[in-house]
């Protein structure tokens, strides 16, 4: 499977970071390339005792043999990117496209007040205003920034050349399907399309070059910020079920609801899912914690997975059973 794209199926924070870092180690891709909006995204990755909070670099950086790249559709905060390159020991193998847009202080200021902050619940990272400037054709690009010069490459060329050579590439989405500017719960959405097609455009690969589309769902739904959430649970019920979580970027509490089959169905359609990953199975079914084979799961957990496969008609191939990268059941052929 030379090219695999991984995207979020609900409202972000499905646990893509963990799935991608597992795949990046297991499938040994030569490139892990990120699309999506910008540093509004936050992935938490646990590797043994180490916890990484990633906002700009692809989550695949744990595999030191892989090059990590940011596609031209992503807006970049140079400070955040350079800090991650240093903190995650990823220098010499981290790259961004020369046409990535640059988030400036003014964009962060606009994003931290008024309608964007109060009504939309934006992360305040400057991502939306930078994308607005890009649409106005006034945004500066990575090639204009001296501190980024040593990291610049032609990302679409690098990715397509790797695929031509038969190498494995992982394409990493951010946010989630219902935060898409086109397909989400507008106006309570992010500033880009973040479905699989949008992510492919962000990194410069065409629709015929994708072999597997993995849509990641959490075993329940969470949403951070404002906007509709069907069957939302109150705080007490959320805590009682053990589903209380906090945002990686903003630290805000996440709102929660039960697994939503109709949203999941639409997500499968919008992304043309060929596989499904379910994360946090152990949070929903504590007896499944850290299991690594399907046979070890409880009957209740197996029934939950079977219902998903029956309803969505797509195989559930990856199951997250704990916080660290190897707490996973891999049912792929
Ligand atoms: P913005 O993308 O920062 O403008 O935020 C717009 C909406 O998308 C807000 O509700 C955010 O909480 C949400 N959002 C943006 N990025 C993420 C993410 O990576 N995970 C979860 N929610 C996000
Ligand atoms: Mg997140």
SS3 labels along 127-186: HHHHHHHHHCCCCCEHHHCHHHHHHEECHHHHHHHHHHCCCCEEEECCCCHHHCCCCCCC
The sign of the CA dihedral 233, 322, 193, 73 is positive
Instruction: Pick the atom of ligand 1 nearest to 116's CA.
Output: 4
Going from the Cα of 54 to the center of ligand 2, the distance in angstroms, rounded, reads: 9
**Known catalytic residue at 43:** yes
Dump pLDDT digits (tens) for 264-294: 999 999 999 999 999 999 999 999 999 999 9
Instruction: Pick the atom of ligand 1 nearest to 224's CA.
Output: 12
List, as ranges, residues with CB under 5 A of the ion ligand 2: 13, 42, 248
* Residues in the chain with pLDDT values less than 70: 1
**Known catalytic residue at 107:** no
Which residues does a 6 A CB cutoff place in the pocket of ligand 1? 12-13, 37, 40-42, 120-123, 125, 127-128, 174-175, 179, 188, 190-191, 224-227
Instruction: Pick the atom of ligand 1 nearest to 123's CA.
Output: 3
Q: Which ligand is nearest to the CA of 194?
A: 1
pLDDT for res 54? 94
125: Cβ contacts below 8 Å, ≥ 6 apart: 38, 39, 40, 55, 77, 103, 108, 111, 249
Which residue of 20, 124, 190 sits with most ligand 1 atoms within 8 Å of its CB, as the best mutation to test the pocket? 190
Residue keyed to tokens 């390159």: 85
pLDDT for res 1? 63
């Amino acid at each position: 499977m030379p090219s695999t794209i991984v995207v979020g199926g609900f409202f972000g924070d499905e646990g893509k970071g963990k799935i991608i870092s597992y795949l990046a180690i297991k499938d040994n891709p030569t490139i892990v390339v990120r699309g999506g909006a910008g540093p509004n995204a936050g992935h938490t990755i646990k590797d043994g005792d180490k916890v990484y909070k990633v906002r700009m670099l692809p989550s695949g950086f744990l595999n030191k043999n892989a090059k990590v790249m940011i596609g031209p559709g992503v807006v970049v905060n140079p400070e955040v990117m350079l800090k991650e390159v240093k903190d995650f020991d990823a220098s010499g193998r981290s790259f961004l496209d020369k046409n990535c847009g640059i988030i400036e202080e003014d964009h962060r200021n606009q994003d931290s007040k008024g309608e964007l902050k109060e009504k939309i619940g934006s992360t305040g990272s400057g991502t939306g205003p930078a994308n607005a400037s890009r649409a106005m054709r006034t945004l500066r690009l990575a090639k204009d920034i001296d501190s980024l010069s040593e990291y610049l490459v032609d990302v679409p060329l690098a990715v397509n050349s790797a695929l031509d050579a038969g190498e494995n590439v992982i394409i990493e989405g951010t946010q989630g399907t219902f935060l898409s500017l086109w397909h989400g719960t507008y106006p309570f959405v992010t500033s880009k399309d973040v479905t699989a097609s949008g992510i492919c455009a962000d990194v410069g690969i065409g629709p015929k070059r994708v072999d597997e589309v993995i849509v990641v769902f959490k075993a329940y739904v969470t949403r951070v910020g404002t906007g509709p959430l069907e069957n939302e649970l109150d705080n007490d019920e959320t805590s009682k079920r053990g589903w209380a979580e906090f945002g990686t970027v903003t630290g805000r509490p996440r709102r929660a609801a039960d697994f939503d089959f109709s949203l999941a169905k639409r997500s499968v359609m919008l992304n043309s899912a060929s596989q499904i990953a379910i994360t946090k199975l152990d949070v929903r079914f504590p007896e499944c914690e850290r299991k690594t084979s399907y046979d070890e799961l409880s009957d209740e957990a197996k029934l939950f997975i079977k219902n998903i496969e029956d309803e969505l008609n797509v195989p559930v191939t990856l199951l997250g059973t704990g916080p660290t990268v190897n707490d996973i059941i891999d049912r792929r052929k």
